[in-house]
Amino acid sequence: MRGAISPKDGMFYAVGSDGWGNYSLDDGSLERVRYTGRPYPMLKKVHGYENGIELKFSSKLSGKAASQTKSYFVQQWNYEYSPAYGSLEYSVKRPSQEGHDRVRVKSVKILPDQKSVFLEIPYLLPALQTHIFAELETEEGLVEMNAFATLVHLDKAKKGFAEPMPALKSRTASLRIRGSKADKERVALNTANTPKGRIRAGETLFKMFCIGCHGPEGKGLPSIAPTLHSDWVSGDREILVKVLLKGLGGQIKVNGELQNYEAAMPGFGPALGDDEIASILSYVRSAWTDAPADVTSAFVKKIRGAEKEKTGPYEAQQLWERVVRR
């Protein structure tokens, strides 16, 4: 995308492809950014629970629309799990079928801060894409919300609302994304129970799940994700497995330097199996450190079982202190 300020009206114009988040038939766009001097209300946070979604806005909500279920449209879908780039969109409830699942909002409650609203959805499932649309009034003006959230982890049910249905076990299973028989056979072949087999499979999986934030050479991206050429990757295997299973947030010390990032790393425990996590970690350890590629599926399974009650991402400082003590 390229942009410039027009000498005629002083406004900022940008051109480029339409990207994700819409259903345009053709790529290409011309966008204008115009400063009005007025406050601009916006969605600040999307948080998934087993029984619904909490939305937080930059200003207080007003009017009746925010508390009415008919004001919200929610749908979900998954992508195909394969080495290919791009994918059709598949039902979360019926993984073999193409399409989206419309999600019914049972009730809506504006929370005490008046900036947040909870959408009660007892049948919410983890999904790669959860699309939420609404037009709401705030004290600072209208918000047209068209949010696309990756809710692969759902926190425990929010108190005061309906219990989640169905059981969480089946929800986690729903994230086993549809893949072709050939893709599954290829991954299974590469995930042989040997260091070389895990490394081969890990390279493929890294390109699918990790390259977007950590980059093709594992050097990370400013304000997004740290380098993998680090003491974290070369250090304790248990810490690495926990990070990939549950995610990581907070200020982090990498190679002796404190760093901050815009958002927490998501946990991949619900989406990836023990073999896949072992393969990714074996690959990154062999590719960018001198540490042995000795992360096995049995080791991952052991850690997953020990941490099954843990919800949400780890705090980086907590894990790093444990590494230092060891």
Same domain, 65 and 113: yes
Is the same domain home to 68 and 150? yes
- What pLDDT score was predicted for residue 278? 92
Domain that holds residue 244: 181-325
154 vs 34: CA distance, rounded Å: 37
Q: Report the C-alpha gap between 306 and 82 in whole angstroms.
A: 29
User: What pTM was computed for the model?
Assistant: 0.51
* Helices of type H across 11-100: none
Tell me, yes or no, whether 215 and 169 share the same domain.
Answer: no
Q: Is residue 186 located within the same domain as residue 285?
A: yes
Task: Answer yes or no: is 38 within a domain.
Answer: no
Is residue 185 located within the same domain as residue 318?
yes
Phi-psi group of 304: left, alpha or beta (phi > 0 → left; psi -120 to 50 → alpha; rest → beta)? alpha
309 shares a domain with 207: yes
Q: What distance in Å separates the CA atoms of residue 79 and residue 98, rounded to the nearest whole number?
A: 9
- Give the number of domains in the chain: 3
Residues 187 and 317 in one domain: yes
Structure tokens at 14: 């940008």
Q: 194 with 218, same domain?
A: yes
- Which CATH number covers residue 252? 1.10.760.10
Q: Is residue 48 one of the residues assigned to a domain?
A: yes
Structure tokens that stand for 3 in this block: 């942009």
Q: Is 130 part of a structural domain of the chain?
A: yes
> How does pLDDT run along the chain (326 residues), one tens digit per residue?
788 999 998 899 988 765 555 555 566 778 888 888 888 889 999 999 999 999 999 999 988 889 999 899 999 988 876 666 677 788 888 777 777 888 989 999 999 999 999 999 988 988 989 999 988 999 988 888 889 999 988 888 999 898 877 654 455 544 444 444 444 444 444 445 678 888 888 888 888 778 878 888 899 888 788 999 999 999 899 999 999 999 898 889 898 888 888 778 888 888 788 888 999 999 999 999 998 888 999 999 999 999 988 888 888 887 876 644 44
